[in-house]
Chain A
Amino acid sequence: MVNENKVCFLICVNDNLFFEECVRYIQWLEVPDGVEVEILEIREAASMASGYNEGMNSSDAKYKIYMHQDVFIVNRYFIYDIISIFKVNKDIGVIGLVGSPKLPLNGIMWQGDRVGDFPGQIPCEEYRYDKIRDGWWEVEAVDGLLMATQYDIPWREDLFDGWDFYDLSYSFEIRRKGLRVIVPVQKHTWFIHDDKEVLALWNHNKYRKIFLDEYMKNS
């Protein structure tokens, strides 16, 4: 039974220092009355997709936030904003913070245009997102640094058994279901991503090929 008034943050963890900091920011967020917040840490996941599937199946929360341990949410009203978008837009499957309006044909997200990824806009205490005034971008795919959902759709752990392309795959799976993928227009940044420069992209090419085979063949 889905709990309509619950938000679950699901985080694959392999670094306690980052995870504890990530949790600190989640606990700092304002929570709407009547909404329950759960934080689910997933340790020793075989892959991102399998970890997220495990977490998804173990939480009854209607709203799930799949995020990296090195992302710190600095929009204090993040939970309000996510719920308000989902509640009036039943056709939105995923909300991300960084996205690609048109994914390049080679599957490399950061080669094409991206939205939401513009550091330098200092969050201020007065800032509140307004979905009518500010709106959102429609995108083909979002970055896995944070992905919020309102429906439980399985992650493709059968194809993506590593740490790459699980996010783009999920975005495409969502769109296959006829749902939309969006990124809110963030007039002040919603997050800080302390990703360790030059990531472990050793297997990126392998999963890129799998991704292209599965989703981009007819593009």
Chain B
Amino acid sequence: MSEKDCMKLNDRIHCWMRNTEDKEILQTFSEDERNILNTLCKYKMIDAAITRKLEEDGKQEDTSNIFIKLEKESEISMQLKEQFMCKINMLMSKGMVEAWMDIMVWYSLLKESKCVYFWEFSILKIVIDIFVKEINSPWEEEGQLSVLSLHNMQELTDVYFKVVFLCRRIEFGVEPVDEIIDYINRKKFSHVFIQGIVQAAWIFDKKKVMKTIEERCWK
């Protein structure tokens, strides 16, 4: 898919957001996409109803609202999550830049809808940011983008935590650095990819970690 095509998906979603009842626009989406959009509508309706009820009860300023909402929205949230995950897994499985452009669009929709309650999506955001840096990096060519080697959300989160754990072991001297060097070399992860994770993760001494890895990788 070209950049123009990507804009089309973006445009279609914006069109739909302006009028969610517009059947003509809905028909431009695939069935799985329509399911996501329909669930999103339902989610918004439920959320608005709960907010109204809390306001009527005079509880709009209560911090415990978030938990009351979570309790009532759990079912629809889980449904939405499942549909989003399926869509993103399908796109990731293509291993193509164009598919990641679509992932960015779908993620934006999720974020704008303020229903990003799931930790997987926080990590997806980190990897999307890395993807943007990778495609803008003069050293990375399309076929070598590290992000494209991730084929589903499970793999994405596993790799993210694996890298964080290995980097942290370097920071605390928990074990020799060989394992992470082997891992990065074997997976052919780029400097941008590793740096993006180190920056995002709870690693105190980022400079030390990156310096240690740089001394042995990407030579």
Contact = CB atoms under 8 A, between A and B. Distances in A.
Interface of A: 17-18, 21, 24-25, 28, 72, 74, 106, 108, 111, 119-120, 122-123, 192, 194, 196-199, 201-206, 208
Question: How many of chain B's residues touch chain A, expressed as a range?
Answer: 20 to 34
B70 A201 contact: yes
A194 B164 contact: yes
A205 B73 CA distance: 12
Contacts of B218: none
A108 B64 contact: yes
B182 interface: no
Given A120-B204, A197-B119, A202-B74, A208 B172 contact: no
Interface of B: 62-64, 67-68, 70-71, 74, 116-120, 122, 158, 161-162, 164-165, 168-169, 172, 174-175, 202, 204-205
Contact of A205 (B67, B122, B162): B67
Contacts of B64: 106, 108, 205, 208
Q: Point out which of B62, B116, B164, B202 has the most chain A C-beta atoms below 10 A from its C-beta.
A: B202
A95 B171 CA distance: 26
Contacts of A123: 172, 204
Given A106-B63, A205-B64, A24 B71 contact: no
Contacts of A205: 64, 67-68, 70-71
B63 to A, nearest CB: 5
A202 B74 CA distance: 6
A122 B168 CA distance: 12
A28 B71 CA distance: 40
A192 B172 CA distance: 11
Contacts of B67: 108, 201, 204-205, 208
B119 A196 contact: yes
A142 B123 CA distance: 28
A72 B204 CA distance: 14
B63 A194 contact: no
Given A24-B175, A25-B174, A108-B64, 5 more contacts: A17-B165, A192-B168, A196-B122, A197-B122, A204-B67
